[in-house]
Amino acid sequence: MDSDFLPFTRPSLGEETVSAVADVLRSGWITTGPKVAELEQALAAYLGGERRVLALSTGTAALEAALAACGIGAGDEVIVPAMTFAATANVVLRAGARPVFADIELETRNLDMSRLEEAITPRTRAVMPVHFAGLPVAMDALYDIARRHRLRVIEDAAHAIGSAWNGRRIGGFGDLVCFSFHANKNMTTIEGGAISVGDPELLPVLERLRFHGISRDEHGQVDVTVAGGKMNLSDVCAAVGLLQLPQLDTFNARRRALATRYLERLAGDVPGVLPARGNEGHSWHMFTLLLPFAELGMARHEFQQAMRRRGIGVGVHYPALPDFTLYRELGHRAEDFPVATRVGRETVTLPLFPGMAEADVDRVCDTLRRVLEEAA
């Protein structure tokens, strides 16, 4: 890859991380062990110190475990936004339940709370909102609706580690809050995830679910009481996370500064829709712009290729779920979710990561304008 190429994301890892991983490898204890326990305690303290946090192998595993712990399965419905990563809906299907889509807001890309209430039926057991790009959903409205309809809330906070709502960190309150620490997230454990648990009665079952359903009595005798999976995090991954977490607020502050520069540089003369700004509680996992490709006379992949030829990587986050074959075959129709469908067909993800300079943002904006001008 050209050294001048600017990807849409890149993890912030240094030699200290390499040394920490090497130390774990030399220790002889490389699977779940003391580093995982230390990371769980550090995450709990970071989120506010009042809840237990369980580390898991991926953010997807965290969502699956949360659904299983809530007893959600065949005959149940779970409401998810119609535009998000496929995992959010896929885990519902894998649980044997039915994902029910609700449309999103154009600028926030978050679940539209008026559409959420319309989607509730007698079979609805839970709602799974996504804090898209680190911008928290309308938490007060969300939990008011959930309380009135007696629904579990499983927050997909894959984008939102370090985000806050009214001064409280996402994951520091609420029902079940699931994080991802994949390599492209605001902090990483290479692969990994976590659940912040609001209901202490769910802790034992979640602990069993993440490792084969195994429990032990006071004599160390093993029993299996639930069909658990293999979802445990390794100490190798936890060692990475333990060095990432103290830097997270600095990473997120840098992301906010870069996003602000994007908003300033793109406002006014670039067609399309900019993402909602949010406030200091927005961790800016991604910067997504909507471009009216049909009006511009170019396809999205042509735009991506043109940017890439000029040394800039552009992602797509995300196509609308009802546009996917799997969900069309289940009877979902894209036209029923006009905002999500528009976002899914017009969205592009511009480079945003802490290692960028302001000059990188300027380069992206200038290149984007040139590409659009050439297409006109």
CB 100 within 8 A of CB 76: no
Would you say 114 and 102 are in contact if contact means Cβ atoms under 8 Å apart? no
Which regions of the chain are under pLDDT 50?
none
User: For residues 135 and 278, is the Cβ–Cβ distance under 8 A?
Assistant: yes
pTM above 0.95, yes or no: yes
pLDDT value of position 175? 98
Same domain, 233 and 272: no
Token code pair at residue 306: 């043109």
* Residue 338, domain extent: 248-375
Q: Specify the pLDDT at position 46.
A: 98
* Nearest Cα to Cα of residue 146 among 201, 52, 78, 65: 78
* Structural domain contains residue 10: no
Is 185 catalytic? The answer is yes
Burial of 368 per CB tally in 10 Å (0-12, 13-18, 19+): buried
Do 132 and 23 sit in the same domain of this protein? yes
Supply the pLDDT for residue 3: 73
Considering Cα of 301, then 182, then 136, then 148, what sign does the dihedral take? positive
In a domain, 3, yes or no: no
Q: Which of 199, 222, 246 delimits the end of a domain?
A: 246
Residue 6 lies inside a defined structural domain of this protein:
no
**Count of domains observed in the chain:** 2
The rounded distance, in Å, linking the Cα atoms of 342 and 293 is 11
Q: List the CATH number of the domain containing 259.
A: 3.90.1150.10
**What pLDDT is attached to residue 144?**
98
CATH code where residue 95 lies: 3.40.640.10
pLDDT per residue as tens digits for the range 82-127: 999 999 999 999 999 999 999 999 999 999 999 999 999 999 999 9
Boundary-marking domain end, from 229, 246, 263: 246
How confident is the model over 14-27, as pLDDT tens digits? 999 999 999 999 99
Q: Are 173 and 294 within one domain?
A: no
Cis peptide before 318 (omega within 30 of 0): yes
**Domain identity same for 284 and 361:** yes
For the chain, the farthest-separated pair of C-alpha atoms sits apart, in whole angstroms, at: 74
Residue with tokens 């620490």: 181
Q: Are 148 and 77 found together in one domain?
A: yes
Q: Which of 152, 185, 256, 332 is catalytic?
A: 185
Q: What is the pLDDT of residue 268?
A: 86
Residues 195 and 304 grouped into a single domain:
no
pLDDT, residue 269, reads 85
| In a shared domain, residues 222 and 259 | no
**pLDDT digit string, tens, across residues 186-214:** 999 999 999 999 999 999 999 999 999 99
Same domain, yes or no: 283 and 224: no
pLDDT value of residue 2 = 67
Same domain for 240 and 301, yes or no, is no
Q: Does 263 share its domain with 138? A: no
Which tokens hold the place of 351? 């480079």
Half-sphere exposure of 367 (CA within 13 A, CB side): 22
Structure tokens at 295: 């009006």
DSSP string, 258-286: HHHHHHHHHTTTS-SBPPP---TT---S-
Let me know whether 269 and 235 are in one domain: no
Does residue 362 belong to any structural domain of this protein? yes
Q: 202 and 269 share a domain?
A: no
Distance CA 157, CA 203 (A): 19
Q: Which of 246, 263, 297 is at the close of a domain? A: 246
The phi and psi torsions of 30 (rounded to 5 degrees) equal -115, -15
